Amino acid sequence: MMEANDNLTSGPKIIEARKVSVRFGQQQVLRNIDLGVPQGQTMVVIGESGCGKSVLLKTLIGLIRPQQGQVVFDGHDLAKLNEKDLTRQRIRFGLLFQSAALFDSMTVGQNVAFPLRQHTTQTDSDVQHLVLARLAEVGLPDSVVAKRPSELSGGMRKRVGLARALILNPELMLYDEPTTGLDPIMSDVINELIMRSRRRYPVTSIVVTHDMRTARKVGDRIVMVYPVSRLKPGMPQIIFDGPPSELDRIDDRQVLQFVRGEARDRLMEMRESYSDFEVDTD
């Protein structure tokens, strides 16, 4: 594993995972994760499907509680907070879900306004103004306000989800596979919006993705997570932690295979695992 770059991990951390482990039944998904994100940084988490990226994201915001270790947000151990205090901290998060997770029964305007209605006492006029402003920031016209999510394209739904995530001016933005299912042009639109949000607001961002174009473009720092089931004894689950430029110079075979999209060794591993279940019929 490449050691974390001191320039990328120094400074006050807005959120930290300290020796975090998560298990579902007999399946361990996260093992002894140590990770801190300095304020203002955009950290991208990469790794193959099933390696624990999304579980890590949900653990960082308290949706999943670790069996071991702790998650500390702005000095608060999330596991020690009661539900009221945890909700108060979560208001400081913005989350763009992989599927946008819009409410189908609500209009676009109602979806974007939902956090304001839930957590503030702003007037209808102020809410309407903020909704239109956020939609404009993600490149959507006023005419979409009355539409239902089902009337929108996938890229438009993602942008509505982003507008909703930003409506409360979060201190920490989390993106779960923000470009999945989008064509290359719309994927780059989302990338540009992520970068624009960082420039416009004092926000720290964590982006979970398997899209290397997104990772290289939006990230100040890239962290690669490896599946626990394939770790060798003593091997850390985070096998890369550094700036995007280091990906072109690293000699770690497992990192390079993912970055380059090379599957030969992985196919060999799969073939060997399948052979354990083959029955000799001779």
Residue 81 three-state SS: coil
Asked if residue 279 is part of any domain, the answer here is: no
pLDDT reported for residue 33: 96
Phi/psi of residue 204, each to 5°? -95, 140
274 compared with 131, residue with greater pLDDT: 131
The reported pLDDT for the residue numbered 6 is: 63
Does residue 262 share a domain with residue 204?
Answer: yes
Q: What is the pLDDT of residue 274?
A: 52
Looking only at the bridges linking them, the beta strands covering 27-38 and 13-24 are antiparallel
Q: Which domain holds residue 161?
A: 101-169
Which stretch of DSSP H or E encloses residue 95?
strand 93-96
Residue 56 has pLDDT above 70, yes or no: yes
Q: Report the pLDDT value the prediction gives residue 282, as an integer from 0 to 100.
A: 45
SS3 76: strand
DSSP at 75: T
Write the CATH number for 205. Answer: 3.40.50.300
Looking at the fold, whether 163 and 185 belong to one and the same domain comes out as no
- Which alpha helices (DSSP H) does 51-92 contain, by range? 53-60, 83-90
36 near 78, Cβ under 8 Å? no
| DSSP strand pairing (76-77 vs 68-73) | antiparallel
Distance, CA of 227 to CA of 269 (rounded, Å): 13
* pLDDT digit string, tens, across residues 238-281: 999 999 999 888 888 888 888 888 766 666 665 655 555 454 44
Total structural domains in the chain?
2
Question: pLDDT tens digit string along 71-92?
Answer: 999 999 998 999 889 888 989 9
Quote the pLDDT of residue 273.
55
Q: For residue 270, what pLDDT is reported?
A: 57
- Residue that terminates a domain, selected from 127, 146, 169: 169
Element (H, E) at 13: strand 13-24
pLDDT of 97 reads 84
42 lies in the same domain as 117 = no
- Per DSSP, what are the bridge partners of residue 238? 225
How many whole angstroms separate alpha carbon 140 and alpha carbon 18? 40
245, part of any domain: yes
Looking at the fold, whether 110 and 138 belong to one and the same domain comes out as yes
Domain co-membership, 165 together with 256: no
Does the residue 151 lie in any domain? yes
Residues 32 and 112 in one domain: no
* Same domain flag for 225 and 239: yes
The tokens describing 14, both together, are: 């807005």
- Let me know whether 186 and 243 are in one domain: yes
Instruction: Give the torsion sign (CA, 111, 73, 42, 3).
Output: negative
282 within some domain: no
Q: Which residues of 41-54 are buried (b: 16+ CB within 10 A; e: fewer)?
A: bbbbbbbbeebbbb
Residue of 102 and 266 predicted with greater confidence = 102
3-state secondary structure (DSSP) of residue 172? strand
pLDDT, residue 5, reads 63
144-197 tens-digit pLDDT: 999 999 999 988 999 999 999 999 999 999 999 999 888 999 999 999 999 998
Say whether both 106 and 229 belong to one domain. Answer: no
Same domain, 42 and 135: no
Domain membership flag for residue 24: yes
What is the phi-psi region of residue 177: left when phi exceeds 0, alpha when psi lies from -120 to 50, beta otherwise? left
Domain final position from 112, 140, 169 = 169
